[in-house]
Amino acid sequence: MSDADLPRRCERCHGCAADPAAGPRRPPGSRDDPLPGKAAALRELGADPVVCDVSDVNALARAVTAFGPELVLHPLTDPPDQVERIAEFAARNNRIRTEGTRKGDDLRRWCKMMQVVASMMVSAPKATVSDVYGEYPNWPRLFPTINGVRLLRREGATLVLEIDHIEGKVVNELLVRSPDEISLWEVHRRFDALFLNRFETIPGGTRFTVSGEFHLKGFAKLLQPFLRGYARRRMERLQLQPVKAEAEARARRAAEGEQAKKDAPGQ
């Protein structure tokens, strides 16, 4: 997706444009256009551009807090308009991509979301734990809140699933990012959630960690200060423990199978 497509894909966008490093600093939240025509073009596409210095973390925090976004997308770059000047701009472009991206990641704490992390040690190889979680056809047998799963479509590497959940039919998006990480986006009636499932090899097995980002809806937003502990306990009981039990059962069966081969006559 190109930068030009971003406003078309969002109902309402918020742009924070980076001041040139050698240029004058503008007041935080200024709607002056640092690049002629850019803010006007974004406004015409339906965005609400706000100009601020992304290297000023306090100004950036104020701009983001004032807007109150539900999602922060930060494709920060600083390339030249002339192809022949790419090498000249390499250092400043790399700086905005690294430093700016780190600041963009920090924006999540200013967004209206609830972050919860739960972790558990699993006595099974990392590949086994990852496979248990990623095998969505087995979810009805694995997870107590799921009665059925249907693959709706594939969007690149992402699987869009319809889940027959205890609260009704919900949509999930499953993406295997690497052997170490699987992400799952869930859409529910009272919240949407992004779960990042990470698998780390440790002595004796695997550290299975789930990081959940919950976007609460309606009156549930009022309960956010009281929900973090409740959400963590549910993640442990309904996500981590079922995966742990199944992965360890598979690991035991695999070990028993290997032992049986060794004990067989002629071995």
Higher pLDDT, 28 or 139: 139
> 16 falls in which pLDDT band (50, 70, 90)?
very low
**So where are the chain's domains?**
3-110, 114-263
Calculate what percentage of the chain has a pLDDT beyond 70.
Answer: 72
Average pLDDT for 146-157 = 94
Q: What is the pLDDT of residue 62?
A: 62
pLDDT above 50 for 12: no
pLDDT above 90 for 162: yes
Q: What is the pLDDT of residue 216?
A: 83
Q: Give the lowest-confidence range in 38-52, 165-179, 236-250.
A: 38-52
Quote the CA–CA distance of 103 and 58 in Å, as a whole number. Answer: 10
- Is residue 243 a contact partner of residue 146, using CB atoms and an 8 Å limit? no
- CATH number belonging to domain 114-263: 3.30.530.20
Burial profile 171-198: b = 16 or more Cβ within 10 angstroms, e = fewer:
ebbbeeeeeebbbbbbebeebbbbbebb
Strand order in the sheet with 181-187: 114-122, 205-216, 191-202, 181-187, 168-178, 158-165, 146-155
Quote the CA–CA distance of 114 and 229 in Å, as a whole number. Answer: 11
Question: What are the tens digits of pLDDT across the range 201-226?
Answer: 999 999 999 999 888 888 777 777 78
Does the pTM surpass 0.75? The reply is no
Q: What is the pLDDT of residue 105?
A: 60
Q: What is the pLDDT of residue 232?
A: 92
Average pLDDT for 223-252 = 91
Q: Give the lowest-confidence range in 32-41, 76-85, 121-130.
A: 32-41
pLDDT above 90 for 118: yes
